[in-house]
Structure formats: structure tokens, C-alpha cells
Amino acid sequence: MNCEACHLKELEVESFEIREVLRCILHTIVFHRALGLIRPKDIDLELFDITYVQCGEIEVEKKIDDKIEQFITWIDKHPNKKSQICLSFYEVKTKQPSWFTNKIERLYWEQWFINLNVLQPTKSPTGKSQHSKLVMDPGEESEERSSRRTLLEQSLQEVLFQIIKFVNEKKDHVPPINDGVIYCPFEITFPSSSDSTFGMDMIKRMLHSGGHPSMLS
Amino acid sequence: MLKMILKSLVLIPRNSVFSPKKMNRSSSNSEGAKAEQIIFEFFAKSLHIILESRTPFMSSRNFSGDQMICSPSPSSSSSSSSSVRPRDKWFNLALRECPAALESFDIGRRSSLEPLVVDVVLVARQPFVGDQMSLSDQDELACETKNEQVIERWLVQYDNRKVREASASRSSSSNSKLQVMYKKATLLLRSLFVMVRLLPAYKIFRALNSSGQICKFKLVPKVPTIVEPFTRREEAEMQKFAFAPVDTVCGRLCMSVLYRSLSDVSCEHSAPVSPTFITDYVGSPLADPLKRFPSLPLSYGSPPLLAFQRRHSWSFDRFKASSPPPSVSCSPSPTRSDSQALVRRLPDIPTGRRKDEERDFSPPCSPSGPVSRGITRTESAPVRIPAPSFESKQNLVAPSPRLKLLRQASLKPVRNSGGAVESGAGLEKLFLYGREEFRRSSRVRLSTNSSPRISFSRSSSRSYQEDFDDNDFPCPFDVEYDEITDPSSRSGSFDQRGDIHEPPLESSGSYPKKSQDAAVGALVNMLKKAPPLRQDVSETSIPEIYWNNNKKPAGAHDVAAASMTASGIALAAKTTADALEELRSYKEMKNVLLSQSTMGSSSVTTSPFAVSGS
């Protein structure tokens, strides 16, 4: 089975915006992959004039929130310029028992890469890298922040449109709807460094398809 | 008032590709029928999704069968515990009720699968246009052609021009194709559900829903029978998004949207809505002043609002009302905190639970009653008019129980299930709705009713309801202070209060015979003598007063006694003086209750005016 990958547009976010941005994106993606009977929920973002949709499953909400918190903690410890979160959907396959005790295999069929450029609180006017706090007029700083917020909102909307387009364009790889399954199982990972993210994911995919479950769990 | 024009145009074409003549009867019919059904339901679900997010005040965001109890979060719009309707199971997407969609699609249930066009029209609201619902479509167009603009056009169509695949394939293959088709249609509808919330029109929809004021625009989804194509200029101004089509057995489902950026569209507020609700206050002698009232959410201490509240408030208002009821002016703040409490309470009223309370006893004079009635009748931002901070719903429960309790001849034991907040809330509601009881009955039964009131103010909302369900209590302002059966310590203080009322009745049996002017004069005098209430109120909130037993000085009790003395009179007169009396009684009640908080149980048995329970 093909594992489709979607790399979303990079977003420049401040640390306090990470939570809302990630919730919006992750829930939107998971909602599109919650093909069981759901009762969606509309959630209005507080920082942006955007309404996103949750599938309404508490487990999903909790899982996503936990992962976001872990990511934020990780970001604080590793203030890299760019970070990436990988949302992967998989199917659980059981194989014949072999000398591997673990017979459960995850077959990834879709991966989403959310690219964030986390701006540090003492951001420069460009906001692209970590700089010492510049002396700026409060008015200018607020204007800059406001404009940056507006741009981020537009970018976030573009990301959501991107998700919709991807979901629409590629449907064949989606597993069939199984009775009793509300949402497709997924996992959220954030690699330690952005440089090796894609490579690691590729390796994981290859290993998955190669059938070495113990290395990929 | 929102106007909705919906027409269904879903028809099943006679030359349907699913015609049995073209398919193997044995298996193709069923497969064709299934495919046709999937397509039909796809149309229905699409229409439902679009209308649900474009029909202000009918969206599940505000209220639905699942949402009669407002959720804390205004954005949350679903309840996982709701039952699943058969239609919800289609495409595994349970949506909230959207009568417009159901109505339009039910009508066209026998129609062919013609393209479904949904125009979302932004209409400039005409301020003094008559009821447009009575106009025909053409009349409406004539009136609003210049004032409306199609900001979105959704197009859902089934394209059967695709080369029809022969149905010679095996049933299993057909089944798998149907499953794939159904899965893709499900994914498409998921995308549609997200898309409708990303487009600019959704912001207008949300603004209209959340605003408690009448906007200059209104959002009107239309399903036109005759689709007027856009001009080139219009089309150039609009952006298009086309969903990926879903291949079906013999065709494909297509969906697209043309939408407009709404950067130049603003939803300006015009007249506030709340005065409308206030005017719906049936039987209110303050009809005129009510019209002056600003819209909800209420500003703390706003004079018109205070007047409004005072009209339906309780004893504390009597100290202030130095003018005839219709012109009750806002007096300074002995009861300002009370007013604030009332203000806080009012937003809680018009909710689903409030409706239930209404049905229980529909108080005529309650400020919340007519407000909520007005809100429920019009369904115009009923939940949104109050300030968003008012989210507690316990308050909603309290009024009805309290009203019943007020009428209850026998008191019930206090149920101390709640904390000070609940008691305070109940007490506030007491003041808020006690007026209703006063209006219903010309008598103030302070002694008997104050205790149960206090009890309820302490008890939880559930206990309120239980009491209400069980008893029919008399008006709290009945002068017949019969018995006080409430064994609670606070009931004793109420007894005291009731006792205070009684002597005037006993000693001044001729009071009812006094003229209305005399009653007004007595009320004025009483008001002049009521400084302590003002001081006490400024110091603490009502709930705290009730629960801080040692705070209230004895003087307040005397004042309350005096006020109650003056208040327990002229109940028979149903005139302006009667209204003043009511206000005064409310005031007295409050004073008594305030005094109780300070005097506590110690004062229960010491008062010479204690009414013995029997």
C-alpha cells in the first residue's frame, strides 16, 4: 500500500501560539480520517478568527493535547529554528508469529508533516532567527505582532485549505471504513532534529513495508 | 427577523442511469438502487451541512435538541450523548437539526437528482420593511434586489455523462465499488464540513449568531429554482473551489463553490434587541420605561435596567421607589449590588432550562419571564443576548423552584446542599422572581415564604426543583403569614421577618382601606428610612450577606421591620400603589434576609414578632 505524504506549509509561530495552531491542524487532519460515526464539534480559536472541526472523540482530543504538550516541552528544551511534527495514520496488521515475539505491525498509509518555525519571544523584526531583544517602540512592536498574527492566520487558513485539497485529491489509499472504528489509528511524532526527520521517516516507511515491526513501533 | 426562503429541487431523472432497462435486473437493480440512494443522501447531507452553517440562529452552534443546556464554551456545538438519528448514519456524520435543510429536502424526496444550487445571500436589512415572510418571492426580489448579494454559490451535481460502465461485473465487484464510492463520498463530505467553516461567509454567520443586536445584514441561504448565472464581473470577483469528484457506478458526484471575499462587508449593529424582549413583558406597568432599557447584556447599575429590575424586584426596591411605578427611577445603590446580581441573573434566564421553568409557573411579572418568553418566541439570539460571562445554569433552575416555594403555604426544610454561591444565587433569584409572585397574589407572605426562599437559596438547584415539583407555594408577599414550618435557623429569621410584617397587619387592619396616596406616602417614608440596606449592600454581595451571619447589624433588622411594617399593607389594591407595595415588600424581604445573615439563628427566637409555626 502506498504511504501518501503531505508536507504542509511552514508556519511561523510564537511559543504561545503553538498549542492552538497544532490543535487546529491536527484535529482537522484527524477529522478527515475519522470515518466512523462521529458528531463533529466546532471549535473557535482564541488567537485567530478560525473555526476548526474536531471529530468529537474524547480520546482523540486527549491524545492530541498530550502530544502537543510534549512537543511544547520539547521545543522549550530544544529551541530550534524549525520543528516538524509528523502525524501518521497506520493500519494494524498481525502477521504470522515468527521468531519476533511481536506480531503486531503498523502499516503506515499516510503521513502529514507539519512544519513550524517557532519564534522565540525576543524576536527580531524578521522573526526568522533567534536574536537578542531589540529595542523597539511598543507601538511598533504591537503593530509588528499584529501583522505577524494576521499573516499567521492567513497561513493557517492556507494550511487548512491545503489539507482539504490533499484529502480530496487522494482518496484511494485510505483504508475502507470498518464497522466500529471511529477514527483511523494514528500517532504523532516529532523528530529530534529537522534535518534527519524526513530521512528517518523514509527509513521507517521502508522498514515498515519491509516487515520489521519491532524496529518501527 | 431572519427570513428563510428554501425550495427543494432534488428530482430523480426519468432517464436515470439506474433504470432497470439498462442493468441486469437480478443484481444491478439492487446495486443501482443503492448507488442512487447514496447519491440522493449525498445531496441531502450536503445541503444539510451547508444550511447548518449558513442559517443564523438555527445552527447547532446556538441551540439544538442536543444543546438546550448551553455548553460553557460557545464554540462547542455537539453533545456526544445525543441519540443518533437514522439520517445521521449516512456518511457517518451526525449533524444537528437543521429544519430548513430537512424541509427542503423532504419536499424533493421524489425529485430527480438535478443539480443542487445553494446561494448564500447577504441581504441588507431594511429597517422598516414589513413582514417579508408574507411577500412572494418576486416581491421580495423587487424589494431586495439592490440590497442583496450572493456571497456564496454551492453547486452539487451528479454528472452522469461519464461513460457508463456496463453492469456486467459481478455483484461483489459492484459491492466493492459501492463501498469505495461511499467511502469517497464520506471523505468529500468531511471536507465540505471543514470548508464551510473556512469560507468568509462563515464569519458573517458566526457574527450574526453571536450578536445580540440586530445587524444591518442578514444571511439568507436560498435554493433557487432558477439559477441566475453570475456576470463575468461577478464571477471575476469570486473565487472558486472545486472538490475532487467522486466516481460512482455510472457517473460522478461533483461539488464546487464560488465564494466572495468579504473584506468590505461589515455587520453593523443597529437597534438593540433586548427592548423587544422587555416590551414583551406582559402586564408590565413599566411598558414605557421598559422600552428605554438598553439591550442585554445589562450594564451593571444602568438606570433603566435598575428600574426594570425594580419593577419586578422585591423589597429592597421599595426603599428606592419614590415615584409611581411606571416611572420608577433608579435610585442609588442600596440595592445596586442586588441590581447587579439581578443583572447577572437575567442573562441566565433565556436558556433552555429557563423555558422549562417558564412552563412550570410562567410568572407574569418576572423580568426574566417575559424576557425569556420573548426570546423563546423569537429565537433571536436567545442565548447570546446575555453577557457571555454568565454561564452558570444553576441560576436558571433556582427561579422556578423559588417561585413555587414562595407560594408554598408550608415551608420545607432547608437543604444545605450548596455552598454560599448557590444560596446567594438562589437568593438573587429570589429577588428576581419574587416579584412575579407578588404580582400574582396581592398578598405578601413574607414569613412563610421567606423561609423556604432562604432554604432554597441555600440548597442546590436540584433541591429547588424538587421542592417545586412537590408544592405549590403561595406568593411570598402574601400578607397572611400563616405558619413557618421551616425548621432551619434561617427560617427563624424569616419568621422574624414575617412577624415584622404581621404586626402591621394586625395593628393596622385598616391599612388596606387607606388610599393609594397614603400607600405611596408610606412607601416613600419607608424608603427614606432605609439607609442600612444601602450600606450593607455596598459592603458585600447578597449571597455573602445571607451567609455571613454576624455581619448584619441589628439596625438593619429594625429597618427591615419598619419597612416590612409599611409593606404589609394595601395588598388588596391592584393599582399603582399595589405595585409600589410590591416593590416595598421586596425591599423588606431583602432587608429581612440581610438582617438574617447577620443576626443568624440567635435572633430567631428573640424577636417579639416571631411567627410561631403551626
Nearest CA in chain B to A24: B194
In B, minimum Cα distance to A179 occurs at B92
Alpha-carbon distance values, B538 to B146, B331, B569 (Å)? 55, 14, 29
CB proximity A35 to B under 8 Å: yes
pLDDT tens track for A6-48: 999 999 998 899 999 999 999 999 999 999 999 999 999 999 9
Compare A120 and B398 and report the one with higher pLDDT: A120
- Residues B341, B335 contacting (CB under 8 angstroms): no
Per-residue confidence at B267, pLDDT binned at 50, 70, 90?
Answer: low
- pLDDT for the residue A63: 94
Looking at chain B, the whole-number percentage of residues with pLDDT higher than 90 is 10
Is B175's Cβ below 8 Å from some Cβ in A? no
Q: Which of B80, B186, B194 sits opposite A160 (nearest CB)?
A: B194
Q: Is B94 in Cβ contact with A171 (below 8 Å)?
A: no
Q: Is B85 within 8 Å of chain A by CB?
A: no
Would the CB atoms of A164 and B194 count as touching at under 8 Å?
Answer: yes
Mean pLDDT of B561-590: 73
The minimum CA-CA distance between B352 and chain A, rounded to whole Å, is 20
Q: What is the share, in percent, of chain A residues with pLDDT greater than 90?
A: 46
Judged by CB atoms closer than 8 Å, whether chains meet at A176 and B76 is answered as no
Query: What's the confidence (pLDDT) of residue B514?
Result: 56
More confident residue, B576 or B557: B576
Residue of higher predicted confidence among B415 and A108: A108
Say how far residue B283 (Cα) sits from the centre of its chain: 21
Averaged pLDDT, B47-56:
89
Contact B197 A52 (CB under 8 A): yes
Beta strands in chain A (DSSP E): 4-7, 11-14, 41-44, 51-54, 82-94, 104-119, 186-189
Give mean pLDDT, residues B504-524.
63
Q: Are A43 and B76 an interchain contact pair (Cβ–Cβ within 8 Å)?
A: yes
Distance between CA atoms of residues B553 and B608, nearest Å? 18
The pLDDT value recorded for residue B4 is 43
- Tell me the chain B residues in contact with residue A43 when contact means C-beta distances shorter than 8 Å: 73, 75-76
By the CB < 8 Å criterion, does A169 face chain B?
yes
Check pLDDT > 70 for residue B363.
no
Categorize the per-residue pLDDT at A201 as very low, low, confident or very high, splitting at 50, 70 and 90: low
| Torsions phi, psi for B275 (to 5 deg) | -55, -30
CB spacing of B92 vs A32 below 8 angstroms: no
Q: Where are the domains of chain A?
A: 4-216
Q: How far apart are CA A151 and CA A166, in angstroms?
A: 22
Nearest CB among A36, A40, A157 relative to B193 is that of A40
Mean pLDDT over B304-315 rounds to 46
Name residues whose C-beta falls within 8 Å of residue B129's C-beta, 6 or more positions apart in sequence.
B143
Q: How far apart are CA B425 and CA B244, in angstroms?
A: 55
The proportion of chain A whose per-residue pLDDT surpasses 70, expressed as a percent, equals 75
Say if A51 is an interface residue toward chain B (CB within 8 Å): yes
Interchain CB contact of B79 with A (< 8 Å) = yes
Residue B554: all three cell numbers together? 441589628
Q: Is B89 on the interface with A (CB under 8 A)?
A: yes
d(CA B538, CA B116): 62
Partner residues linked to A41 by β-bridges: A54
> Which residue of chain B comes nearest to A53, CA vs CA?
B194
Locus of grid cell 518555525: A117
Q: Which residues of B touch A160 (CB under 8 A)?
A: 194, 198
**Which pLDDT does position B562 carry in this prediction?**
52
**Would you say residue B329 has pLDDT above 50?**
no
For residue B606, how many C-alpha atoms fall within 13 Å in the half-sphere facing its CB? 8
Q: How confident is the model at residue B376 (pLDDT cuts 50, 70, 90)?
A: very low
pLDDT of B597 > 90? The answer is no
The pLDDT tens digits for B79-91 are 444 677 788 889 9
For residues B599 and B560, give the distance between their C-alpha atoms in angstroms, rounded to a whole number.
12
* Predicted pLDDT at A111: 94
Q: Does A47 touch chain B (CB under 8 A)?
A: no
pLDDT at A101 over 70: no
Helices B420-440 and B446-458: crossing angle, nearest 10°? 150
Q: Is A38 within 8 Å of chain B by CB? A: yes
CATH number for the segment(s) A4-216: 3.30.900
**Average of pLDDT values for B508-519?**
61
SS (H, E, C) B337-368: HHHHHHHHHHHHCCCHHHHHHHHHHCCCCCCH
Closest CA–CA distance from residue B50 to any residue of chain A (Å): 14
Phi-psi region of B134 (alpha: psi -120 to 50; beta: other; left: phi over 0): alpha
In this prediction, residue B385 has a pLDDT band, given cuts at 50, 70 and 90, of very low
